[in-house]
Amino acid sequence: MQVKEAIESRYSCRSYKPERVDDGLIADCLQCAALAPSACNKQPWKFYVVRGEKKAAIAKCTQLFGANSFTDSADALIVVTAKPSAIDKAADKIKNLDFSANDLGLAVGNLCLRATELGLGTCIIGWLQAGKIGKMLPLSVGEKVKLIVAIGYPADAPRTKKRKPFSDTAIFLG
Ligand SMILES: Cc1cc2nc3c(=O)[nH]c(=O)nc-3n(C[C@H](O)[C@H](O)[C@H](O)COP(=O)(O)O)c2cc1C
């Protein structure tokens, strides 16, 4: 699969088959995530692949106000954390730039595209109780839960992508 095909095929999967994904496939996706660029190559991310009882408990922490009930059907939840480096903190303080959030977005993008190529479904989840989830994981000092990626074999079908008109978002100057 070419990169463009993976970009066009990826969608937020919100229903999963009750089939286990081989750990090797998830590791492959995480290796692709870790190849993403990051500010000063600080790689502020960590990925916790969670299944079983802990996964069920973490899923509940994404289901506020009736949201994200599909997380119960995912084979695994990948909890993505960031531990901002001193450079990240300085950039945030001096310039109000959130480098580590940018870095995580790039890493999670790679993860989802590689998963698509491997026939897996993913959904990025930002609606979550970060503090509660963090208490269930062996986080180091300063490490914070930022995102979750649900992963599994898709039980739904890709939807037509809804996007703003290209001319609203791409501006060519000069
Ligand atoms: C940072 C971020 C947080 C998101 N949080 C959620 C979420 O909590 N629940 C959900 O169902 N989808 C979530 N999504 C998925 C978006 O809704 C989805 O990417 C968007 O609607 C475009 O659809 P597509 O991914 O199928 O192309 C999130 C996506 C991003 C990038």
Q: How far is CA 8 from CA 29, 98, 143, 146, in A?
A: 18, 28, 33, 25
Indicate if the pLDDT at residue 12 is higher than 90. yes
Pocket perturbation via mutation, ligand 1, pick of 12, 102, 146 by most ligand atoms within 8 A of CB: 12
Q: Whose CA is nearest to atom 29 of ligand 1?
A: 124
> Is the CATH number of domain 3-10+20-153 3.40.109.10?
yes
Domain boundaries, the chain: 3-10+20-153
User: For residue 50, what pLDDT is reported?
Assistant: 98
Cβ neighbours for 124, distance < 8 A, ≥ 6 positions apart: 12, 108, 112, 147, 148, 149
14 contacts 157 by C-beta, under 8 angstroms = no
Is 109 a residue whose pLDDT tops 80?
yes
CA distances from 83 to 16, 73, 107, 160 (A): 30, 29, 14, 36
* Residue ID of nearest Cα to ligand 1 atom 31: 124
Cα–Cα distance measured from residue 9 to residue 5, given in angstroms and rounded to the nearest whole number: 6
The pLDDT of residue 148: 98
Is residue 93's pLDDT more than 80?
Answer: no
Averaged pLDDT, 66-85: 95
pTM above 0.85, yes or no: yes
Decide if pLDDT at 87 tops 90.
no
Rounded mean pLDDT, 85-101 = 79
Question: β-strands 76-82, 45-50: how paired?
Answer: antiparallel
